[in-house]
Structure 1
Amino acid sequence: MTADTTVFTFANPTDLILEIPTATQNQADVHSQSFSNPTSGYQGYINQLCLSAVLLWLQEDFTPQAKVWPNTTVLSSFWELVNGTAITLDATRFILIPSETIDLSELRVPQEWVDIPSWVGDYYLAVQVEPDEGYVRVWGYCTHAQLKSQGSFDPGDRNYSLDATDIINDISVLAVARQLCPEEPTRSAIEEILTIPQPQAQNLIARLGNPEILTPRLAIPFQLWGGLIEHGGWRKSLYQRRLRLPEQWSVIEWLQSGVSQVAETVGWGSFDFQLGAAGARGIDQRQPGSILSHQLAIAGQIYELLIIPQREPDTTIWRFELRNLTVDAAIPGGFKLRLLTEDLQPFPNNEDIAITAVEQLFVEVALEPGEAIVWEIEPLPDNYDREILRF
C-alpha cells in the first residue's frame, strides 16, 4: 500500500513511500531470531520489512507474478551473510538494498549483488526503512551497468557506492523505462567466479561457521567468498553451521528418521513404497522401503523428482527419477536430469536427456558413505536453489 507523501514534509515529491503491513512487523520480529547473532538478526529484520512493502508494490503496480529469488524459504541464509534481497519480474531482476540511514547522499551495494554472476540484478532500488514509523521510502534506483561504470568500489567493506546525483530519483521513471526501452541493456559484463574444490569449501565452512565471526564476507578474499556462497548448497551449509544446526541434508537420515524440517520447507517428503506404489508408476515393486519425493513446478506443469534406493548385495544404487505428475502426461523433449558431485563436477553417465517426449528421465549412481550429490534439471524448476544431498 502506498502512503500519502504529502504528510511527509521531508520527502521529495518523487519519493515512493510504502506502508509496512502491521502483521509483517510482528512476523519480522520473530523471524529475526533465525540468525546466529544480533547483528545478522537485525539485518534480517530490516530486509524483511523492506521486502514486505516493496514486493507488494511491485505485484500491484508491475505484475502479480513478481516473486522473491530464489525463494522465500532460504532468505535467512542470505541475510545472515549479506544485506539485500532479489525479486524477479519475468526476466528482470530487482535488488532491494535497505538501510536505516538518514544520509541519502549515496547508494551502497554489497559486492555480492554486483560481481557474483548468478546474483546480479538489472535494477538496484535504494530503500530507507523506518521500522518505528511503519514505512519504507524508495528514494531512487540505478542499473547494474551504472554501478559498474559510474560507481566507486571500496575494498575495505566491499561495497559499490553511487552518488545520489547519479541515481534516478523519480521512481515512476522505472515503469516507463521498462515499457519504452525493454531492450536497453541494464547489466555490464563481469568475470566468472571460479568453482572451489570441495575440500577447500568444507574448510571454509568450518572456519566461517563460527558465529563469533560477525562479518564472514570480509574474512576471506572475494573470489573464495563468491565461489562459496554462489553454490546454494554451501551457502545453506554455512548458514546452518553458524546456527549450530545438525546436518539437514542427509538422505540416509531422511529414510531412517524422516525428512528434516528444513528439507520439508522446500518440498521434500517421503512415502512408504509398499503403501504408495500405485503412485510410483513403473517402479520395480520388488524393492521395498521408503522413497523420497520432491514436487517441482517446471514450465507451467508439476513434476516429481524421486530418490529410490535399490539395494544390491554389496552396495545401494540410488535412482534419481523425474516424472510428470499429470496422468498420462509425458516429459517434453529437451528436458535434462543431471547429477553432479558436490563441487559441481560431472561424472560418467551422470545425465539423462529427453530427445523426444518420454515417460521418465532417470540417472542411477552408486555412492560411498559420506559422498554427496547435487541434482539439476533443465528447464530450471521454479524457486530452484542448489542442494547438496549427503548419503
Structure 2
Amino acid sequence: MTTNQTVFTFADSTDLILEISHTTPANFENQFSHPYLRYQAYLNELCLNAVLPWLQDFSPQAKVWPSSAVLASFWELVNGTTVTVDATRFVLVPSENIDHSELRVPQEWVDLPSWAGDYYLAVEVAADTGYVKVWGYCTHAQLKNQGKYDAGDRTYSLDSSNIVNDISVLAVARDLCPDEVTQTAITPVPSLPQEQAQNLITRLSNPEIIHPRLAIPFQLWGALIEHGGWRQSLYEHRLGLPEQRSVLQWLQNGISQIAEAVGWERLNLQLSPAGARSVEDRQPQIILSRRLTIAGQLYELLITPQGEPDAPFWRFELRNTTVGAAIPGGFKLRLLTEDLQPFPNNEDIATTAVERLYVEVALEAGEGIVWEIEPLPEDYDREIIKF
C-alpha cells in the first residue's frame, strides 16, 4: 500500500471523509427479514460503496470477501463487511454513532478464525448528509489484548485512546511494516453435528428473532455461521424461501435466482447415441455448470446425472474452459458430507497435468454435498448442494 495524498480528504482533522450514494440496490426491500436488519444492511451498503473505491484507489486488487453476491446473508445476521487486499483483511464496522469514544466490533469478526480481520476500520455513516467518516482503525491483536468483551451484546470494544485516529498512518504502516503482526491466536469453535445444525436453523429461522446471534451460545452460533452453507441456509429460511440449491429442482425448473447470482447455470446438450439415424433420435442432456477463477485461469465445475433413471448417481467434474488446456498437477477436487466429513473415494487429485478431475457419488433423496477445490477458487464460499 502506498501513500497517495490525493486519496485522503480531511476536514480539519485526521478523519477520512468520503461521499456516499443513497441509492439502494433493486429489491433491497425483499432481501431481509425485518426492517431493523434491512436498515442495518443499508448502512453497511453505504459504508462499503464509499470505502471500497477508496481502498481500490491505492490497492486495485481490493475486493469484497467472500463475494458481493452473498453479502445479504452476512448482513441479515451480523453488522460489518470484510474487504481483502491480497492476504490482508480489512473489516469495515459502520455505525451512525457520532460519539467516537470507542469502537465496538461484533464477536464474530474477532473470534471466528475464517472471519477474523487484520485491521478494523471505524466508520461513521451519516446517511442523511451523504458522507462516511473513517475516524480510526485498530488491529485484531489490539482488540483481543486491549479491548473489553461485552457478553451482553457479544462485542469487543476498544477505547479511542488505543485507536489510531490518523487514517493516513494505515497506508504508511502497511508500506513500512509489511510483516507487522496484526492477528493474535484464535481458538477454533467446535464443529457441529449435522442434525444439531439443522435443528438450530429451524429454531433461528423465525424472523421474530431479530438478533439470532444472541439467541444461542456463541460456540454453537459461531460453528453454525462459519459454515457458509449453513449460513446461507439460515438466511434463506429466515426469508421464507424454498430450497435454493436443489439439483433436482434445477434440472426440472431452472436455476434459482440465488444460485444464479453466485454463478450456476443450466446447459442443454444434444447427444447422439450409438445408432442414431436422425435429429429426432438425439438425446438432450442437462448439465449444471459453474464458472470458477483459480490461480488466474478460468475453469468450470460441472454436475451431471449418470446411470439409469431408477438408479442415478452424480458426477462432479472440473475442467479448464480453454480448449486443449489442462488442469495443473497439484489440483484437488473433493466432496464432503454436509457437515464436512470425508467418505470413501471422495477426492480426485491431479498428480500431473490432466484434462479433468471428477468424483462420482450416489446420494439419497434430500442428502446434501459440499464441494471443495484446491487451490481455492476466487470468491469461494462453501455451499451445500441438495439432491
TM-score band, normalised by the shorter chain?
A: over 0.9
1:228 equivalenced with 2:258 (yes/no) = no
CA drift at 1:311: 2.4
Equivalent residue for 1:355?
351
- Of 5, 10, 13, which aligns to 1:5? 10
The amino acid across from 1:69 in the alignment is: W
Output the CA distance in 1 between the equivalents of 2:28 and 2:122.
23
Query: Per the alignment, in what secondary structure is the counterpart of residue 289 of structure 1?
Result: strand
Equivalent residue for 1:282?
none
- The 1:346/1:15 distance shift into structure 2, 3 A limit, reads same
Output the CA distance in 1 between the equivalents of 2:169 and 2:272.
54
Contact in 1 for aligned 2:302/2:317 (Cα 8 Å): yes
- Of 49, 56, 64, which aligns to 1:59? 56
Residues 150-161 of structure 1: pairs in structure 2 closer than 5 A: 150-161=146-157
Query: Per the alignment, in what secondary structure is the counterpart of residue 364 of structure 1?
Result: strand
- The 1:36/1:275 distance shift into structure 2, 3 A limit, reads farther
Q: Which runs of 5 or more residues in structure 1 are unaligned?
A: 7-11, 278-285
Equivalent residue for 1:88?
84
CA drift at 1:273: 2.4
Equivalent residue for 1:281?
none
Output the CA distance in 1 between the equivalents of 2:84 and 2:99.
28
Q: Which runs of 5 or more residues in structure 2 are unaligned?
A: 1-5, 274-281
The amino acid across from 1:170 in the alignment is: D
Equivalent residue for 2:279?
none
Equivalent residue for 2:298?
302
CA drift at 1:102: 1.2
Equivalent residue for 2:123?
127
Equivalent residue for 1:257?
253
Per-residue deviation, residues 80-121 of structure 1 (Å, max 9, x unmatched): 000000000011000000000111100000000000110010
- Of 46, 49, 56, which aligns to 1:49? 46
Query: Per the alignment, in what secondary structure is the counterpart of residue 177 of structure 1?
Result: helix
Output the CA distance in 1 between the equivalents of 2:305 and 2:283.
8
Contact in 2 for aligned 1:2/1:16 (Cα 8 Å): no
Per-residue deviation, residues 208-264 of structure 1 (Å, max 9, x unmatched): 000000000000000100000001111011001111111101000000111111101
Aligned residues: 375
Contact in 2 for aligned 1:3/1:19 (Cα 8 Å): no
Contact in 2 for aligned 1:29/1:45 (Cα 8 Å): no
Compute the RMSD of aligned alpha carbons: 1.8
CA drift at 1:64: 1.2
Q: Which moved more, 1:248-257 or 1:308-317?
A: 308-317
CA drift at 1:313: 6.2
TM-score (norm 1): 0.93
CA drift at 1:2: 6.2
Output the CA distance in 1 between the equivalents of 2:285 and 2:193.
35
The amino acid across from 1:289 in the alignment is: Q
Output the CA distance in 2 between the equivalents of 1:74 and 1:32.
16
The amino acid across from 1:236 in the alignment is: Q
Output the CA distance in 1 between the equivalents of 2:301 and 2:189.
29
TM-score (norm 2): 0.94
Query: Per the alignment, in what secondary structure is the counterpart of residue 88 of structure 1?
Result: strand
- Of 249, 265, 270, which aligns to 1:269? 265
Residues 101-116 of structure 1: pairs in structure 2 closer than 5 A: 101-116=97-112
The amino acid across from 1:270 in the alignment is: R
Contact in 2 for aligned 1:31/1:44 (Cα 8 Å): no
Query: Per the alignment, in what secondary structure is the counterpart of residue 117 of structure 1?
Result: coil
Equivalent residue for 1:38?
35
Query: Per the alignment, in what secondary structure is the counterpart of residue 23 of structure 2?
Result: helix
- Of 158, 165, 177, which aligns to 2:161? 165
Output the CA distance in 2 between the equivalents of 1:102 and 1:269.
45
Contact in 1 for aligned 2:271/2:283 (Cα 8 Å): no
Identity of aligned residues (%): 70
The amino acid across from 1:332 in the alignment is: P
Give the helix-richer structure, 1 or 2. Answer: 1
Equivalent residue for 2:14?
14
Contact in 2 for aligned 1:339/1:373 (Cα 8 Å): yes
Per-residue deviation, residues 267-325 of structure 1 (Å, max 9, x unmatched): 10011121799xxxxxxxx9852110001000000001000100236411100000001
- Of 378, 383, 386, which aligns to 1:387? 383
Equivalent residue for 1:245?
241
Output the CA distance in 2 between the equivalents of 1:2 and 1:101.
24
- The 1:276/1:85 distance shift into structure 2, 3 A limit, reads farther
CA drift at 1:376: 0.4
Query: Per the alignment, in what secondary structure is the counterpart of residue 213 of structure 1?
Result: coil
Equivalent residue for 2:337?
341
Output the CA distance in 2 between the equivalents of 1:107 and 1:287.
61
Contact in 2 for aligned 1:2/1:19 (Cα 8 Å): no
Query: Per the alignment, in what secondary structure is the counterpart of residue 338 of structure 1?
Result: strand
- The 1:127/1:197 distance shift into structure 2, 3 A limit, reads same
Output the CA distance in 2 between the equivalents of 1:225 and 1:155.
14
Output the CA distance in 2 between the equivalents of 1:3 and 1:91.
23
Contact in 1 for aligned 2:272/2:283 (Cα 8 Å): no
Output the CA distance in 2 between the equivalents of 1:66 and 1:173.
18
Structure 1 residue ranges (4+ consecutive) displaced by more than 3 angstroms after TM superposition: 1-6
Output the CA distance in 2 between the equivalents of 1:381 and 1:276.
34
Per-residue deviation, residues 155-187 of structure 1 (Å, max 9, x unmatched): 111000000000001100101111111111100
